[in-house]
């Protein structure tokens, strides 16, 4: 019996059944949206409101002459061309300094290194901008030495 069905008939049947299934799903679950597409739209001219949206335009005061305007005395600020903004390296350096101060009287080397690793994990997104060599001179203030291979890395 299967020998009498051609491949073309098989694919046509599968295609029609698939289309029927998706048609049923669309009509069953999306009927409101589909019918909304075929309904007539409102007249676009009814969208225009007669009330102004932004209000009336104010005219400039013609009595003021720009030449007569007076301004207060200017005062210099503390910003110069050499002033640099604080970046992630400066923040890391300040936080490492406070960590070193906390461990200055404590000989807990493993605790310090683990907290330093947690601190460095906070600055991982900035690893391209930060050079970890800036925090190494702070280790001289600690009561224990830190070897080169013990320093945490990003």
Sketch the domain layout of the chain as residue ranges: 2-38, 88-150
Q: What CA dihedral angle connects 112, 118, 122 and 123, to 10 degrees? A: 50
**Least reliable range by pLDDT among 78-92, 118-132, 134-148:** 78-92
Which one, of 146, 84, 64, 153, lies nearest residue 111 by Cα?
Answer: 146
Coil vs helix vs strand at 8: helix
CB 112 within 8 A of CB 141: no
**CA 136/CA 144 separation, integer angstroms:** 13
Q: Which structure tokens are listed for 133?
A: 């060599």
Q: Does the structure show a pLDDT above 70 at 53?
A: no
**Whole-structure pTM over 0.75, yes or no?**
no
According to the model, what pLDDT value does residue 60 have?
Answer: 65
**CA 143/CA 31 separation, integer angstroms:** 76
Could you tell me the CA-to-CA distances from 38 to 35, 41, 42 in Å, in that order? 5, 9, 12
Give me the mean pLDDT over the 4-30 stretch.
94
Q: Which structure tokens are listed for 96?
A: 């490492």
| pLDDT band per the 50, 70, 90 thresholds, residue 17 | very high
Mean pLDDT for all residues in the chain: 83
């Amino acid at each position: 019996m299967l020998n009498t069905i051609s491949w073309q008939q098989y694919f046509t049947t599968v295609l029609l059944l698939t289309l029927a299934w998706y048609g049923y799903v669309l009509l069953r679950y999306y009927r409101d949206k589909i019918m909304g597409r075929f309904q007539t739209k409102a007249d676009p001219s009814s969208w225009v409101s007669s009330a102004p949206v932004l209000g009336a335009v104010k005219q400039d005061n013609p009595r003021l002459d720009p030449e007569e305007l007076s301004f207060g005395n200017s005062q210099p600020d503390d910003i110069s061309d050499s002033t640099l903004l604080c970046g992630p390296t400066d923040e890391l350096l300040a936080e490492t300094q406070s960590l070193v101060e906390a461990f200055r009287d404590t000989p807990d080397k493993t605790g310090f290194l683990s907290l330093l690793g947690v601190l460095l994990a906070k600055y991982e997104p900035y690893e391209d901008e930060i050079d970890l060599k800036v925090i190494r001179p702070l280790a001289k203030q600690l009561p224990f030495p830190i070897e080169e291979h013990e320093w945490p890395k990003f």
